[in-house]
Structure 1
Amino acid sequence: MIRPLPPALDRAEALRYLGGAGKEVPPAVDALLDKAAAELWRTAAPRAAVRRVSADKLAPLLAGRDIAAHLKGCDEGLLLAVTLGAGVDSALRRAMATDMAYGVVLDAAASTLVEQLANDLENEQRALLESEGRYLTGRFSPGYGDWPITVQPAFVQWLDAGRQAGICSTASCVLTPGKSITALCGAADHPVKGKLAGCATCALRETCTKRKEGKPCAQ
């Protein structure tokens, strides 16, 4: 499934990835963000995959308390995946090899852009389900809380993400292309919010910029 790019890069979010949220942006960083955005819009080829699955069939993908709590009260799961494509991976490798400062900014911009695409896809699916009188939780990705990242290969296979979006998982559970996101939402015929995982068991604890800013997801 081919996806459109958003109107513009969320620069404030990109700056958060760079650790500059709420700070004055140096002109040099601003210029690098402009360059990164232009390169992403030139090299990205966004694609996505979506699959709705009844809750009673999700058991092989579920492990841990957090994902179970997130899906409590849901009778259906919505598997999602989005990617910027292999062209962005190539651009990142070139940037890291030739200009480290630019490479870091491009990486932050790419992370921001794939999150924007995931948000757009989630909102689109939420509107679709609402038209059916159904409700959707937020996204919950493998590696969040105590849901192990080791489910990633099975998740990708269940979603048929390779055929639909060109997304694969390595044996070590790394997604390729690198700037890709997989996630699971719960759906129900009554309002559901799901449960955000806490920091204590999260696989992203050490690199999470929100936690370092004192604004964890669970707040």
Structure 2
Amino acid sequence: MMTDLKQVAKYLGYGSHVPEEKTMADMVSIANALEKSVRAGWTYGNYILEQDETGPVILADTAVELHGKSIKRTLKNCKEVYIMACTLGAKGDRLIELEKMMSTTQGMIADACASVLVEAYADLCQKEIEAKLPEGSTLTFRYAPGYGDLPLATNKEILELLKAEKRIGIHLTDSMLMTPRKSIVAILGVLENKEYKGKNHRCGNQSCDECELSDGCPARN
């Protein structure tokens, strides 16, 4: 099973506790149904970075500008970057809606399972990217628009650059929501010689104390 049920339990608010038997059985059943029905897809591209001390980080020869202190800090040691988009596809959304019709609880479980599953597919995409890196290089952690002070509107520029709607069916609404809902856009800087890349908080910070969102961050260690 690709879906990490421990992570699903965390999404549902159980923390490190094991859910009761009925909930666990529903988690397994719904996760299996998702994995059998979805047709996940991803796409990505590699770009040279242009950055200075004062302006935004720019993907050379594109219209993409990455604004914000946090993404600038994440990519400060990077000369190039990969951008990626990944989705479970429309069948994932439909299954979640069907489970909601059965019960609110099953809808919540389906939503959590889908969130964990799309991250698992994003991991596969990242592994494919890592296989293309020169020996000794590594990637920063996935950083998504809307996290920290990187504007959510950055998704529009990235999805257009990747031609994600044509390639894998991701559409961005006027309110900047992605459809299918279980889709991910991420930025991964390339670090040479395995430079330190920070903790796995998707922000690249070495400590939660550096982050203005630390008080309410669900990924805080």
TM over 0.5, yes or no?
yes
1:152 aligns with 2:146: no
1:200 aligns with 2:204: no
CA RMSD, 1 decimal: 2.1
Residue among 63, 66, 70 paired with 2:67: 63
How has the CA–CA distance of structure 1 residues 86 and 101 changed in structure 2, closer, same or farther, with 3 Å as cutoff?
A: same
- Per-residue deviation, 1:158: 1.2
1:92 aligns with 2:130: no
Q: Is the 8 A contact 1:66 1:146 kept in 2?
A: yes
- Per-residue deviation, 1:199: 5.1
1:25 aligns with 2:42: no
1:47 aligns with 2:51: no
1:191 aligns with 2:209: no
CA distance in 2, matches of 1:162, 1:35: 30
Q: After TM superposition, which residue ranges in structure 1, 4 or more long, deviate above 4 angstroms?
A: none
Of the structure 1 ranges 122-131 and 192-201, higher mean CA displacement relative to structure 2 is found in 192-201
Q: Identity, % of aligned pairs?
A: 30
SS of the counterpart of 1:155? helix
Q: Is the 8 A contact 1:61 1:155 kept in 2?
A: no
CA distance in 2, matches of 1:179, 1:68: 27
- Per-residue deviation, 1:201: 4.1
- Per-residue deviation, 1:61: 2.5
SS of the counterpart of 1:55? strand
Q: Is the 8 A contact 2:87 2:170 kept in 1?
A: yes
Q: Deviations over 1:68-123 (max 9, x none)?
A: 11111211110011110000111111221231111110110000001111122112
- Give 1:28's aligned amino acid: K
In the other structure, the counterpart of 1:143 is 146
- Per-residue deviation, 1:157: 0.6
Q: Which runs of 5+ in 2 are unaligned?
A: 51-57, 199-203
How many aligned residue pairs are there? 202
Q: Which runs of 5+ in 1 are unaligned?
A: 1-6, 211-215
- Give 2:26's aligned amino acid: L
Q: Structure 1 length normalisation: TM-score?
A: 0.84
User: Which structure's residues are more often helix, by fraction?
Assistant: 1
How has the CA–CA distance of structure 1 residues 199 and 134 changed in structure 2, closer, same or farther, with 3 Å as cutoff?
A: closer
Q: Structure 2 length normalisation: TM-score?
A: 0.83
CA distance in 2, matches of 1:143, 1:112: 19
CA distance in 1, matches of 2:119, 2:29: 19
Q: Is the 8 A contact 1:16 1:209 kept in 2?
A: no
Q: Is the 8 A contact 2:145 2:186 kept in 1?
A: yes
